[in-house]
Amino acid sequence: MQIATGHPAAKQVLGLLRGHGQPGSTDALEEAELTVAEGFWACEAVRDAARDRGLRVVSVLYCPQVLRPDGLEVAHQLADLAEQAYEISAKTLQRLAERDRPDGLIAVVELPTWTPGSLALAERALVLVADGIEQPGNLGTLIRTLDACGADALVLTNPRTRRANVKVFRASHGTVLRVPCLSFATVADGQDWLDGAGFGVYLADTEGASRYSDLAYADRTALVLGNERFGIDRAWYRESAARVFIPMLGVADSLNVSISAAVLLYEARSKLADWR
Amino acid sequence: MQIATGHPAAKQVLGLLRGHGQPGSTDALEEAELTVAEGFWACEAVRDAARDRGLRVVSVLYCPQVLRPDGLEVAHQLADLAEQAYEISAKTLQRLAERDRPDGLIAVVELPTWTPGSLALAERALVLVADGIEQPGNLGTLIRTLDACGADALVLTNPRTRRANVKVFRASHGTVLRVPCLSFATVADGQDWLDGAGFGVYLADTEGASRYSDLAYADRTALVLGNERFGIDRAWYRESAARVFIPMLGVADSLNVSISAAVLLYEARSKLADWR
């Protein structure tokens, strides 16, 4: 069945792309943690996650007019996995997709959620705490890096951007569908969970006391990165938390938050991991 | 003197923001490597570079109506350093600035240039070769990371985005004014320079032969990062070039290029540098 932009499924895509469900809103979209996967590679990631882990696919919208054969195959596979599937015209596609020359595939999916109880941790574990991160591109890049270095989870405190933001999906290269995430209402709640699980906590701070490359890192390591402008919430600064810095040898006084996270994550990973 | 959007200086800002001088154009703006610094921190960086290194400031446009006292002070300092200085109204500012709530300061500057002969290298040196990087945000983040880790230069081959793109300035946090950059017309020219200066060359390649953390790195190290989609130009794959990988432990098959660069740069820096 072919639908146009007035159809509820198309309206849902547009609403999600326009950012309904911002923090603080009571929009129903927020409750369900729905997001949009747009394009061939994104929809491949959705298909794989639906098959491997039962990801809920709310709808798939595809445009036979512009899809290449391999894209059409993914569309049909997704149609089997999705609750609803619709064809759209090239004109409708152009109005829905957020970029030039879209390749004809759009899916609405529900992000998986995790709870502290459902997260199985090995003796050695590595998590990243993203405290107050504002920019969805940064959050997405953090998630992509967590996936790459085989980290165990993302922990969110003071969230200022939603994981369901479509820019997070894009910057994460779809890994937001896979990387476990725990979100805590307060810093204290996050600390309680980390303490209970025996994590050593390391705060990334340009004024830190220890150079990142000098540390041994605890068997269970939690790295804390803060807001792009204001840094880490003061509540994270307890005596038990180590403050760690990355040397800044130039004129600028800080690194992009996702760059800092990557340098720290790979350093900790190289010291904790199997690869040495 | 107050000017409006029809004035040549304001038109120049708009032209630069709209991306005149794309690669391949013969626009005069391209010749001069002009770029726009917008906002308080950006104009502070311009002021410092003008004072310390004689950066050419073509014009400064400032809005006394919205500037805070510290911003007005920077405006006056820049007016002394710039070839032209103009006041603008809040309305004109809004039409020139690319963001919400601009803080009232805009400068047009000429990016400094370097030549192989003007670049002094110590016995130990670290450079990053950016081959075919497409996205200005990535190029800017690379430059910011080069500044932070005290690298010696950025080397460009197969350039697909211009250093003068305003998005590069923003993502670099103004460090594009400081980080030395050599641009080569061909890969062979870049290789000739690196060979002549005795650099060891390391290609970032997910199919690489050596894990990045296992290498010692040459006293003069050149890390090569490639295009976001197509990787490194085959011409870089000579027998003398090492291929180095960062472990990918998740479902995605690559890292963001500026993330890979940061992990490699800090690893090489920590092995070459003074800080150990």
Between chain A and chain B, how many beta carbons pairs sit less than 8 Å apart?
117
B237 in Cβ contact with B209 (< 8 Å): no
Full domain range(s) for residue A183: 116-272
A142 and A88 share one domain: no
A139 and A243 share one domain: yes
B104 and B142 share one domain: no
**CATH code of the domain in which A81 resides:** 3.30.1330.30
Res A87 pLDDT > 60: yes
**What residues of chain A lie within 8 A of the CB of B149, using their CB?**
247, 249-250
**pLDDT tens across A114-163, in order?**
999 989 999 999 999 999 999 999 999 999 999 999 999 999 999 999 99
Domain count, chain A: 2
What value does the mean pLDDT take over residues B210-225?
A: 96
**CATH code of the domain in which A151 resides:** 3.40.1280.10
Under the banding of pLDDT at 50, 70 and 90, the label for residue A25 is very low
Residue ending a domain, choose from A56, A90, A110: A110
Query: H or E element: which one contains A192?
Result: helix A187-196
**pLDDT tens across B172-203, in order?**
999 999 999 999 989 999 999 999 999 999 99
B56 and B149 share one domain: no
A174 touches chain B (CB under 8 A): yes
Q: In this predicted structure, what is the pLDDT of residue A273?
A: 74
**pLDDT tens across A30-40, in order?**
556 899 999 99
B218 and B106 share one domain: no
Res B123 pLDDT > 50: yes
Query: H or E element: which one contains B168?
Result: helix B166-171
With CA atoms as reference, the chain A residue closest to B269 would be A247
Which member of A148, A171, A259 has the closest CB to residue B250? A148
pLDDT cut 70: percent of chain B above it:
94
Nearest Cα to B172, choosing from B152, B209, B147, B191? B147
B10 and B145 share one domain: no
Under the banding of pLDDT at 50, 70 and 90, the label for residue B23 is very low
Mean pLDDT of chain B: 92
A272 in Cβ contact with A150 (< 8 Å): no
Res A264 pLDDT > 50: yes
Res B254 pLDDT > 50: yes
**pLDDT tens across A223-257, in order?**
999 999 999 999 999 999 999 999 998 888 889 99
B122 and B256 share one domain: yes
For helices B136-148 and B257-272, the axis angle rounded to 10 degrees is: 20
A210 and A237 share one domain: yes
Q: How many CA atoms lie within 13 A of B55 on its CB side?
A: 29
What value does the mean pLDDT take over residues B104-108?
A: 96
A133 and A162 share one domain: yes
Residue ending a domain, choose from B110, B128, B155: B110
B73 and B175 share one domain: no
CA pair distance B4, A87, nearest whole angstrom: 50
A139 and A231 share one domain: yes
**pLDDT tens across A153-196, in order?**
999 999 999 999 999 999 999 999 999 999 998 999 999 999 99
Q: In this predicted structure, what is the pLDDT of residue B275?
A: 60
What value does the mean pLDDT take over residues B22-36?
A: 62
Which member of B249, B256, B269 has the closest CB to residue A141? B256
A148 touches chain B (CB under 8 A): yes
A80 and A126 share one domain: no
Under the banding of pLDDT at 50, 70 and 90, the label for residue A27 is low
Residue ending a domain, choose from B61, B81, B110: B110
With CA atoms as reference, the chain B residue closest to A173 would be B252
